[in-house]
Chain A
Amino acid sequence: MIIYQLRSHRSFISYIDRTREYYAAQGYSKPYMWPHYDDTPFTPLRKPLTECHVGLVTTAGLPKPPGAVAAMFVPKELYVEQANPPPQRLFTDDLFWDKKATHTEDVDSFMPINRLGEYVTSRRIGSASPRFYGVPTDYSQSRTLEHYAPQILEWCREDRLEAVLLSAL
């Protein structure tokens, strides 16, 4: 096992750099402007995790009608869905992930709904939300902050959550 190497570049990919160069090569000269904040909000857990009610947020969508082309034209939507029974599949074809290197046929590889349930059984967390929440990916940062995030918060409050795991494809 190699435990030490010398590298001239950082190991992890900068997707900000990679996408800028890729779209520039496609003729898009104006780069996308990513959000950057100097301040970061922080809410400590207010009670032990073993007593917390925990929820999940995903960027994957609900299953779409059959047919690749038809599915791609169904708009992305904000949704709330029952967590039980856990979904066997979620729609990810329209999202930006490495479709050559991997796949998303196992929901728990991108939204750990069954794994979280196991942590309820082992009493690592108090309970899991009966619903999970889907947020559409959007170039518009203001739409995300002004429309999608408040709705996710409202659903979290309806389900009386104390903590949330969010996963990005």
Chain B
Amino acid sequence: MCHQTVSLVARYLEENGLSTVLMGSARDIVEECGVARFLFTDFPLGNPCGKPWDVTMQRSIVGMALDLLEHAWMPRTTIQTPFHWDNDAWRENFMRVDESNRESLAREGELRRQFQADMKKNR
């Protein structure tokens, strides 16, 4: 939801005369929405501005965002930063659905709906 929210806000600011650049890691959500300038870092969600405590990388990413702000000449300009996460396991693991967890996910969904129904009843 974070990427949707900042995409909508960025669009609104652009419509009202402010130049924006969005830094994020959920490329499809941002590009479906459509923003003026997008700096994409292909990391797990959570660190769109660089790895924690890696000041050099963070400085580089913010520098690229400023370059994009300055040099993009048309909307929907996406630039991908050259950085890679330490390994690719997160790509498979994040919100994974397979035969090993299908039953537990269905049960979690049931429990959540029950919890929400109880909360509604007790309001």
Asked if residues B11 and A34 are in contact (CB atoms below 8 Å), the reply is: no
Inter-chain CA distance A165–B20, complex, in Å, is 6
Give A9-62 interface residues, CB cut-off 8 Å to B. 11-19, 21-23, 25-28, 34-46, 49, 57, 59
Interface centre among A11, A34, A125, by most chain B C-beta atoms within 10 angstroms, is A34
Pick the contact of B20 from A23, A95, A136, A164 — CB < 8 Å?
Answer: A164
Smallest CB separation, B89 vs chain A (Å): 8
Smallest CB separation, B66 vs chain A (Å): 6
Q: How many residues of A contact B (CB 8 A)?
A: 79
A97-108 near B? 1/0 per residue, CB < 8 Å:
111111111101
Asked if residues A104 and B46 are in contact (CB atoms below 8 Å), the reply is: yes
Return chain B residues, CB-CB under 8 Å to A97. 2, 44-46
Give B102-123 interface residues, CB cut-off 8 Å to A. 102, 105-106, 108-110, 112-113
- Judge whether A115 is part of the interface by a CB distance below 8 angstroms: yes
Closest chain B residue to A136 by CB distance? B5
Smallest CB separation, A104 vs chain B (Å): 6
Smallest CB separation, A130 vs chain B (Å): 17
Give B46-99 interface residues, CB cut-off 8 Å to A. 46-55, 58-59, 61-63, 65-66, 69-70, 73-76, 85, 89-91, 93-95, 97
- Judge whether A152 is part of the interface by a CB distance below 8 angstroms: yes
Closest chain A residue to B88 by CB distance? A11
Inter-chain CA distance A148–B13, complex, in Å, is 11
Return chain A residues, CB-CB under 8 Å to B65. 165
Pick the contact of A153 from B18, B26, B112 — CB < 8 Å?
Answer: B18
Question: Known: A26-B112, A164-B19. Is A101-B44 also a contact (CB below 8 A)?
Answer: yes
Return chain B residues, CB-CB under 8 Å to A36. 32-34
Question: Known: A40-B76, A119-B66. Is A108-B5 also a contact (CB below 8 A)?
Answer: no
Return chain A residues, CB-CB under 8 Å to B45. 15, 96-98, 169
Pick the contact of A165 from B23, B36, B109 — CB < 8 Å?
Answer: B23
Inter-chain CA distance A99–B46, complex, in Å, is 8
- Judge whether A168 is part of the interface by a CB distance below 8 angstroms: yes
A130-169 near B? 1/0 per residue, CB < 8 Å:
0000011111010011001110110010000111111111
Interface centre among B13, B28, B42, B93, by most chain A C-beta atoms within 10 angstroms, is B13
Question: What would be 12 A-B contacts, judged by CB atoms less than 8 Å apart?
Answer: A12-B40, A13-B26, A15-B28, A49-B66, A101-B44, A101-B46, A103-B52, A112-B58, A148-B9, A167-B6, A169-B2, A169-B45
* B-to-A contact residues, CB < 8 Å: 1-30, 32-36, 40, 42-55, 58-59, 61-63, 65-66, 69-70, 73-76, 85, 89-91, 93-95, 97, 101-102, 105-106, 108-110, 112-113
